[in-house]
Amino acid sequence: MDRPYDVIIAGAGLSGLSLAWQIRQSGMRELRILLIDQANKQVNDRTWCWWERGSGPFEPLVYRSWDTIRVTSADGKAMQIPLGSYRYKMIRGIDMYRFMEEVVHGDPNILRLTEPIESIHPEDQFVHVRTASGSWTGLHLFDSTHRMPMTDPHSRHLLQHFLGYVIQSPTPVFTPQVPDLMNFHVPETGDCRFIYILPFSETEALVEYTLFTGELLKRDEYVKPLEQWINQHLGLSSYRILEEEFGVIPMSDEPVSEFPHPRVTRIGTAGGYTNPATGYTFATTQKRLGQLVRHFLQTGQWQAGTPIRHRRFDLYASVLLDVLSNGDVAASKVFWDLYRHNPIDRVFRFLDGESTFGEELRLMLTTPYLPFTKAGGQVLRRRIL
């Protein structure tokens, strides 16, 4: 048998690329890495955003960052929120892909394989991955390709799905200093829908129509409301569509097995990195992968015993998912109240799983009491029964 790879990474998306980069940044340049993905990653097919204090490791790739955000209620009231010591940051997918392509091509110990994965077979000493060109053997597999079943009857399941256009307008219509995190001034449908805008200049921005629902829609059901909103609220009847982005992010409290086998670690959304109640993944991905790399440096083992987040934050996410699913209170009111009645640093620390219990109690007091109490009871009953 040929010498096995030290690490096989299944999937060259955010988590797979970040892991390869973090391994190299840690100084482990001798580890042989096989990076497998069926896509060539040559188009700008996604956008990653997160909030952060100071400068992070991917600062050179940040396409835009903002020190203020805006949230708009269902009746059109707009609230601008200064972020204090935080910045809201954005990386374009294509910039991450190009950066990592340079890392891979310049490293003789990283092999990039552009093929679909046919099977994964872990054993006691090795893990085997089969592709069209043959079988590949490694000591450890990091898998970002696993899909959550979302079939557990004791869990709540929603999808965050969106269609976005990067548009160029003939006249200035955007405020480049202020992105719209959630604009709920859209037609009422009984579920959670909003517009998300990342402005790049006065005439160019990413405008997304975003939904938190149980099922995907037909393409026209994204296109029509998005284009109507652009026409009615931006006053644009003609504009250039420079790029298009469609995405689906699972929002579920179904239990995730991060370590399904001693030779296999799931990463990214597959490993439970996505916040079940918001869909944000970038910051948790970098934090968790950093923990795994440091654990390997200290112990020679990839699988760390520390959880991704404290269990109480999973409970909070379950309650919010129940509230969004039940429809007893409009999602627009939930998020409007959250941002209106809490300092932004408290909200961000809470969403990052870094808040204190006292901060969490103060935040809970700003949410609609009866719907959240009902949802909390439902979550506890499901977990007990």
Q: What is the CATH number of the domain that holds 183?
A: 3.30.9.10
Helices (H), the chain: 14-25, 93-105, 219-234, 282-299, 311-326, 331-340, 344-351, 357-364, 369-384
pLDDT at 305: 83
Contacts 24+ apart (CB under 8 A), 115-124: 115/36, 115/38, 116/38, 117/10, 117/36, 117/38, 117/145, 120/10, 120/264, 122/261, 122/262, 122/263, 122/264, 123/263, 124/262, 124/263
pLDDT value, residue 35: 96
Residue that terminates a domain, selected from 299, 326, 356 = 299
CATH of the domain at 26: 3.50.50.60
pLDDT at 385: 65
Domain boundary among 269, 299, 329: 299
Query: Is the domain of 143 the same as that of 164?
Result: no
Residue 366 sits in which domain range?
A: 311-384
- For β-strands 47-53 and 33-36, DSSP reports them as unpaired
Q: Of 244, 267, 299, which residue sits at a domain end? A: 299
336-348 tens-digit pLDDT? 999 999 999 999 9
Same domain, 29 and 163: no
pLDDT of residue 120: 97
Each residue's pLDDT tens digit, 51-95: 999 998 899 999 999 999 999 999 999 999 999 999 999 999 999
- Number of structural domains (the chain) is 3
Q: Are 281 and 275 in contact (CB under 8 A)?
A: yes
Residues of the chain with pLDDT under 70: 1, 385
Instruction: State the Cα–Cα distance between residues 136 and 116, nearest whole angstrom.
Output: 13
The Cα–Cα gap between 355 and 262 comes to 32
- Whether residue 82 lies inside any domain: the answer is no
Residues 286, 139, single domain; the answer is yes
Domain-embedded: residue 84: no
Q: Are 182 and 98 members of one domain?
A: no
